[in-house]
Amino acid sequence: MGTSKSFSALTKKMPNWPAFSGAVTRSCDGSALSNDKATEILSGYVTAIGGAAKAGRGGSGVAGKSGIRTAIKLGGFFGSFLGAGGSLATALNTTGITDLANKSVSDIINHLIEYTSGPSSTIDDKAAKEAARLLLEDLIGSANSVEEMEALLKQYFEKESHEELIIKYFGYYILEHLSVWFYEKLVQEKGKSECSSLFRQIKDFIFERLRGIHKNRALQNINWGTAESDELIKNMQQDVLKVFE
């Protein structure tokens, strides 16, 4: 990915690319990632994609647009689940699965990934789709049946909010951009162990910082797929990016 023409063209849209790339590369040395270094990397990311206001609202040519589209679809699916009183079958029906007979957990997760993300024709699309996969696997990937998937989702929403779930999606979305841009290159240059260590620490830093984001949005009454949900998700993505700007 890092040597592809599409990626080379993308980096030309990022005036801070040399400094940003250098900060990531220098941090991939197998050592503990300091808060200062992690802050430098994430701040460099937000600058690279055009800033929180521009990218958060879909105005960047680098990142943000695919995240908005996928977050809206995810929000709508989880909204259907909550609106149906925790019925997974009813929520899945809104995505096009009308018969759960012979459907495995993997079948359903793969369907939801495609439903929420669509085709991956750009690097941004790829990051959005992979973030959806990570979120869904985190939530329901350990289930062995549809009934267990439903139970896991109910347990999640007993402890966390709809808003927190979308924020978590955006955390994965940021992480996946960094992965698409750097992981393969760093494995080749620094080694898999060092690279894996760096990305684990970046992930921990992202989600630790996002725990402190102000959560005050009631998503249960949102009409998903309308201008209202579009504005809401743009506001949320902008707020997430501001945390690291």
Domain extent, residue 52, equals 5-244
Q: What is the pLDDT of residues 171-189, one digit of tens each?
A: 999 999 999 999 999 999 9
Tell me the pLDDT tens digit for each residue of 96-135: 999 999 899 999 999 999 999 999 999 999 999 999 999 9
Q: How far apart are CA 162 and CA 207, in angstroms?
A: 16
Residue-wise pLDDT tens digits, 181-231: 999 999 999 999 999 999 999 999 999 999 988 777 778 788 898 999 999
Q: Per the structure, how many domains does the chain have?
A: 1
Res. 4 pLDDT band, cuts 50 70 90 = low
Q: Please report the pLDDT score of residue 215 as a whole number.
A: 78
Q: What is the mean pLDDT of residues 149-159?
A: 95
